[in-house]
Structure 1
Amino acid sequence: MAQQTQPTITLEEALHMGYRHHQVGELQQAKHIYERILSAVPQQPAALSMLASVAYLEGDEIQAEAYRDQALKSYSAVLHQQPGQLAIRAALVNQLLAADRVREAQDLIEYLQLPLNPLRAKPEEFQRRREASRKRGLPPIIINTIPKSASESIWNRLAQGLGMAQCHLSIGLFPHCTAVPHRLDEFGQGGIISKEHIAPSPFNVEVLHRAGVRKLVVHLRDPRQTTLSWAHFVRDDISKTLLGPLWRQSCPPAAVLNADLSQQLDWCIDNYLPLAVDFMRGWQEIAADPARPIDILFQTFEGFRTEPDAYFARTLEFYGIDKSLFAEDAEAEVVHLRKGALDEWREVYTGEQQRRANAIVGPDLLDAFGWTA
């Protein structure tokens, strides 16, 4: 009787098999597959990254950091040998940002030739909307937002109302979302509206200015509320993505993810809220600089919630867009909107959590945007 042979699969097929287990929480099955890949292809960077993610979710941070560091070295080695590998460069940039090695990521991102990624439209429709918007003289628009500020729905409403194309321009997650110069160069030609969480860094401001971006809407929300929403989002969404657990600044450790909401809020108030405050203050400082190369309009979710028509009117006026070009009755997809409440945090935070949160935000920031202690 002839001996049966096991069917062979490619490296990509094996990785995707691991990803499928990983994404549904079957961590041991995923881990076994990633380890098998490493036994066949030592130092395979994607498998190392996934093992780091699994280890973080299992609470083994020492092992996770070891895998992460090995993955970064492996990605760097592959890129050195094959500098034209776009996927490798993008993965390395993304994971350097996750590891808080921002300067190294910025050095690599200058040569990252990522194309624009059409959203909510097929490439043909994206191009049609872009060209039609350019012919009507619509400028490039960026709504740069603090996460969990209902900005996705506002962005969709503006895009539909103006008939503009939509895409993202950055790489990474909050707090290190970084503008991709190649994408910005194309975006600067107009006809596109983007929603971002771009960090207030000199590098990002320079990339925006170099691409011809002269105006920026910075959309904010009471950071005590966004922190509450982030606690839900990071637990139910970000931590369950393949690479989300690698973002240690904004993704809690396993013990916190598996704890109750109050303990998750404690971690988010102490660790995430300061990042949100830094984001807001950073853009405030840029806006206050007389030598700033970009004009900034601050908008808030609270302003949108109470006076949506005035919110859109301010945005159109800021960009010099005739209001007749905006279809106010345009329907738009509502995305990632958990409740949309204004002050839910007051009902959920304990008294001690409220005290700590108010101290982190500070009275000057509260006053600047009309939020109350």
Structure 2
Amino acid sequence: MSISYFETANKLKREGKLQEAIPAYQRAIEQNPNFYVVHHNLGEVLAKLNRTDEALALYQRTIELNPNAAWSYHNLGEVLAKLNRIDEAIIAYRQAVEINPESFLSYYQLGKACYRLATEINLEIFQFSLQLEDVLSKTSQENGSSASLNSDYFNDITFLQSTSPLNNEAFVEEVYRTYLKRSPDVNGKSSFLQNLGNGTLTRQQILATIRQSGEFTALLRLSGCLMAAISAYWKAIELNPDSYDSYHSLGEALVKLNHLDEAVSVYRHAINLNPNFYKSYSQLGGVLAKRGQLEEALVCQQKAIELQPVLVGDEAYFNLGNIQIQLGLLEEGIVSYQKAIEINPDCAEAYYNLGNVLLVQGKREQAIRSYYQSNKIHHRKANPHATIPGILLVTFPEFGGTEIVNALATSLSIPFIPISGSYPFDNIIERESISRLASGMSWSMGYISASLINFDLIGEYLDKMIFHICDPRQAMLLFVNYLNKILQTEPKQLIMYHSILCDNYFTLSITDQISWHIESGYLPQAIKFLKGWLEVIESHNLHPQILSTKQENFAANPEAFLESVLNFYEIKDRDSALSKLQLNQDSYMEKEKIDDWWQVLTQEQAEKASSIIPKQMFSKFGWNR
């Protein structure tokens, strides 16, 4: 009876009636639970239906019943790989080839799994079992592939002998290049040089320190996984010399190990076996470009795209663009980058390289927008849960931004990231800080001059910002008041202002201090600062968008001001943010409010101050003359 159920289930399976086959196999198992083949076949049906966990259990049961079931080990490897349990998949595939060393497909999938372990897993933190290490070692040695790995990478004595003529700096650089495959970082290099110089460490101890690092361990494991993949692919090719897929996959592994000459050879072999295999043309083009064979690389990439203009993907167009740019074909390169972006809107590298080309062509604004898109993609991937964008507040004067600082901090619950200093007005933004701000869920405030370098940096990372000001004559009085307050309470802080004040500044009366600031102190610098930003604001084609706000409006109605910010940044849950709005009672607006400028300045001072303010500022910001 069990045979009947088994045969019925197999017939349904062959006809593609997978759902109907399941109960038949289950009845067959009920009647003969130790018949391993029925467990295996049901596992195949469930695997095809993506019922992966159930399939896994059935393959494991099959192996319990028949430890020599090579194909069950193979299928177990496929299921484990689908579940991203790649280390277990490698062990299962290895068991399959141990039982059936003539299985081309098991060797091929073993190579694929080893390659995935090398390229998809963080090997610096991944825990390698002894069994996995043994499997990788056996697989690597099966075709003698380990001999192609540079011996100096593993032999400290050979390395020390070959580098003995080098001075300490050159030695450290060679250590990084050979053992870590990169240039030294500043801190690491400095530390090693200091230890070598004072005799704390010998050169051999430097190598021992490098070998104990997680980075070196990861690189060693990477090489081991790739060598195992290469060995498995060669075995698959030995069993099936006509498998162009095996040659192509072998080429990928060789490229990862930087064995470019061998990679070129196997990619060419893959193309000879299948002249229509576009992937090999594309990968061969990439390798040839790395070797500087640009003309031939160009032909390969164009052939790949000709064969499959859509399936070839964004990488082929991106690589084609890179080759075209190196050949001086700028317009063609731009088209290729744009095609890569069309296929994959998240291709940050294409946006970045496109920005480079546009910058070379003098199309600065377009270049900045392209850089912005590239950075936006990187930040979104790094911080996918950010719901509030980075908010940049350029404020004039710095004192006038205190209330906004508190409003944003309390209403939106986002941290502050400093990106510049305070007066004078020529501060340069730090790229690292603006990059952190752009990751979202944060804000920054400060004096930032409207210099080309600053605005380019802002444009590279942000699509919106706020420019918040008050009347420069009022700002001047705030600065005078602030300096005299510091003189009375914390005179040491005045050191930072000595270089921008006249020698006898604090011996002058308040009236004379104001006159000095109007003539050659604060006010001319403030006007220059504001003129720069006014020009930026009125240049409608520039990126990013700018929300221009006034301190007077914020003081009159903080809720309306915050709502304008929320609308500008398209921040949801406005009611919640507005309900948390608070003003800092220690701020200058509440605690140290000073008289309006027209009540303090003499008529002569007022006329002089007003005369140096450009007319368009009065009309733009609604200030009184």
**TM-score > 0.5, shorter chain as reference:** yes
Larger Rg: 2
- In structure 2, the partner of 1:324 is 575
- In structure 1, the partner of 2:427 is 177
Deviations 1:289-325 (A, max 9, x none): 2331211111001111222222111111111112134
Please point out which of 223, 229, 243 is paired with 2:478.
229
Contact 1:170 1:196 in 2 (8 A): yes
Q: Is 1:358 equivalent to 2:607 in the alignment?
A: no
CA pair 301-244 structure 1, distance change in 2 beyond 3 A: same
CA pair 327-364 structure 1, distance change in 2 beyond 3 A: closer
Contact 1:220 1:299 in 2 (8 A): yes
Contact 2:400 2:469 in 1 (8 A): no
Deviations 1:75-118 (A, max 9, x none): xxxxxxxx86xxxxxxxxxxxxxxxxxxxxxxxxxxxxxxxxxx
CA pair 307-278 structure 1, distance change in 2 beyond 3 A: same
What stretches of structure 2 of length at least 5 have no aligned partner? 1-185, 188-382
Deviations 1:162-219 (A, max 9, x none): 1111121114632122211111112210111111111111010111122x21111000
Please point out which of 395, 406, 413 is paired with 1:163.
413
> Following the alignment from structure 2 to structure 1, what is the Cα–Cα distance between the partners of residues 496 and 516?
17
1:50-199 alignment to 2 at 5 Å? 135=385, 137-148=387-398, 150-171=400-421, 173-199=423-449
> Following the alignment from structure 2 to structure 1, what is the Cα–Cα distance between the partners of residues 580 and 423?
32
What stretches of structure 1 of length at least 5 have no aligned partner? 1-82, 85-132
- In structure 2, the partner of 1:370 is 622
Tell me how far 1:329 sits from its aligned partner: 3.6
> Following the alignment from structure 1 to structure 2, what is the Cα–Cα distance between the partners of residues 171 and 304?
23
Q: Is 1:265 equivalent to 2:514 in the alignment?
A: yes
1:21-32 alignment to 2 at 5 Å? none
CA pair 172-340 structure 1, distance change in 2 beyond 3 A: closer
> Following the alignment from structure 2 to structure 1, what is the Cα–Cα distance between the partners of residues 531 and 597?
21
CA pair 233-311 structure 1, distance change in 2 beyond 3 A: same
Secondary structure of the structure 2 residue equivalent to 1:296 = strand
Tell me how far 1:348 sits from its aligned partner: 0.8
Contact 1:153 1:334 in 2 (8 A): no
Q: Is 1:220 equivalent to 2:472 in the alignment?
A: no
The residue type equivalent to 1:139 in the other structure is P
Tell me how far 1:367 sits from its aligned partner: 1.8
Contact 1:188 1:213 in 2 (8 A): yes
- In structure 1, the partner of 2:92 is none
Deviations 1:320-358 (A, max 9, x none): 112134143443534551667586111110110001011
Tell me how far 1:246 sits from its aligned partner: 4.6
> Following the alignment from structure 2 to structure 1, what is the Cα–Cα distance between the partners of residues 600 and 422?
30
Structure in which a larger fraction of residues adopt helix: 2
> Following the alignment from structure 1 to structure 2, what is the Cα–Cα distance between the partners of residues 221 and 241?
25
TM normalised by structure 2 equals: 0.36
> Following the alignment from structure 1 to structure 2, what is the Cα–Cα distance between the partners of residues 301 and 317?
18
Identity across the alignment (%): 24
> Following the alignment from structure 2 to structure 1, what is the Cα–Cα distance between the partners of residues 541 and 581?
38
Q: Is 1:288 equivalent to 2:538 in the alignment?
A: yes
Contact 2:559 2:581 in 1 (8 A): no
CA pair 161-134 structure 1, distance change in 2 beyond 3 A: farther
- In structure 2, the partner of 1:31 is none
Secondary structure of the structure 1 residue equivalent to 2:624 = coil
